[in-house]
Chains A and B, each alone.
Chain A
Amino acid sequence: MVDPKEEIVEHLSAMRAFAMSLTRNSALADDMVQDALVKAWTKIDTYKPGTNMRAWLFTILRNTYYSHHRKARREVADVDGEMAASLAQKPDHDGRLQMRDFNRAFDQLNDEQREALVLVGAGGFSYEEAAETCGVAVGTIKSRVNRARKQLVEILQMSDDEVMEATDIVTTGIVTNQKNVA
């Protein structure tokens, strides 16, 4: 039988992706994956062969996050937030949702909503697997995912409206100037 330890490597990319969606910072994410890797390796006897290894690894990852890295994320996230705020926002011509807007909205979700949404919406986890990974009831995961989606829609609709208003002001300004010329 293959040593389950050697299966861990197959999940490394997914672990990095999940860590990144929790921390939203690549240096922190990789530190977290490193800690989780060592923990998984040394505690491999707590893994039941034949069960979902990715879910087991993600559980270790999120425990690492909540016990050590969450505080660091807050400190880093503030710096990122200030930087983002100082960047000028360009209105979007074709109305397509820009990745930067999405990222900013995604950052505003709380940790529990973000992880539920990522597991189900991107990681391919079933509600049941996500619930097991996060150690909560299936209904809790469902409501976190729903609330997260709803909140993203609200934030993004709001930023859409702001862009519209800004465009209106500019347009009004141009029209007024033209009137003055005439």
Chain B
Amino acid sequence: MKQDRKLSSLEQEIEANLKRVYEDVAKQEVPDRFTQLLEQLREADKASSEKANG
């Protein structure tokens, strides 16, 4: 009985820590390098479509 209780609390802590590892990163602000990269990709699209449209 006691062993089972100990195991299930360990399992619960594993689930909680797993979520914490993921959430810690997911909640961080996205670094500037990515917003800059997206901006560059948009610019490149614009440039190539302008070129295509002559």
Binding site for B on A (CB under 8 A): 5, 8-9, 12-14, 16-18, 20-21, 29-30, 33-34, 37-38, 41, 96-97, 99, 102-103, 106, 117-118, 121-123, 149, 152-153, 156-157
A20:B25 contact, CB within 8 angstroms: yes
List 20 additional A-B contacts (Cβ < 8 Å) besides A21-B25, A30-B33, A153-B11: A5-B41, A12-B30, A12-B34, A13-B26, A16-B25, A16-B30, A17-B22, A20-B21, A21-B22, A29-B25, A30-B31, A33-B34, A37-B37, A38-B41, A102-B17, A102-B18, A106-B21, A121-B19, A122-B21, A157-B10
Residues of B contacting A152 in the complex (Cβ-Cβ under 8 angstroms):
14
Closest 5 A-B residue pairs measured CB to CB? A122-B22, A17-B26, A17-B25, A102-B17, A97-B13
Asked if B46 lies at the interface with its beta carbon under 8 angstroms from chain A, I say: no
Q: B42: nearest residue on chain A (CB-CB)?
A: A5
Secondary structure at chain B's binding surface: helix, strand, loop or mixed? helix
For the complex, what is the distance from the CA of A108 to the CA of B1, rounded to whole Å?
29
Annotate B12-54 by CB proximity to A: 1 below 8 A, 0 otherwise: 0111011111110111101101100110010001000000000
* Chain A contacts for B41, CB-based, 8 A: 5, 37-38, 41
Interface residues of B, count at CB 8 A: 25
Q: Which residues of B does A touch, CB under 8 Å? A: 7, 10-11, 13-15, 17-23, 25-28, 30-31, 33-34, 37-38, 41, 45
